Amino acid sequence: SLLNLPPELILEIGDCLPPDGILALKFSHPFLNRILPLAPRLRNTTLSDCARLAIRTYLSPPDLKPSHLRCILCKAVYPASLFNSSSSPACVPISLAEDARQTDVVELPQRLCSWHVGRLARVIHTESGGRNEWISHVDNM
């Protein structure tokens, strides 16, 4: 594992990385955060959007119930309610009654918005004029 390498070798690896790569490595484990210096690399350097987002996320206090989340696939920020498959346009309720309970059709991976339900499920027709059924499958993204 990377943590078993001697500090000298980790510093050599850090010398080959851009600033946002060093940030990602530093934020991955407290041991790497202590070993890798970042200040000398940031002088006279314009940070990428990725590095800025990483710094802001790392420095902000954790929010136990965030109102918005960022999708890991499309990188867009949506309300937290959109991270359930029942919120997907592909999961239109059969009844529009107010008391109709929305149930999740597919269990979405963590931080994957409901716009991607179509990638995780497909509609099949069981018989002519029959009702549709959902089948879920797991693919690598």
State the residue range of the domain holding 22: 2-59
pLDDT for 82:
84
Q: Which of 55, 50, 47 is nearest to 26 (CA)?
A: 55
Residue 141 in domain: no
Q: Is 132 in the same domain as 104?
A: yes
**CA gap 134, 14 in Å, rounded:** 47
pLDDT for 139:
59
Residue 89 in domain: yes
Digit-by-digit pLDDT tens for the chain (141 residues) are: 888 999 999 999 988 888 778 888 888 899 999 998 877 767 777 878 877 887 787 777 776 677 888 888 888 898 988 887 777 766 655 555 554 556 666 677 788 888 877 777 665 556 666 565 555 565 555
Q: Is 87 in the same domain as 131?
A: yes
Structure-block tokens of residue 65:
């119930």
Helix (H) or strand (E) holding 51: helix 49-59
Q: Is 55 in the same domain as 72?
A: no
Backbone angles phi, psi at 120, to 5 degrees: -105, -15
Q: Is 13 in the same domain as 54?
A: yes
Give the number of domains in the chain: 2
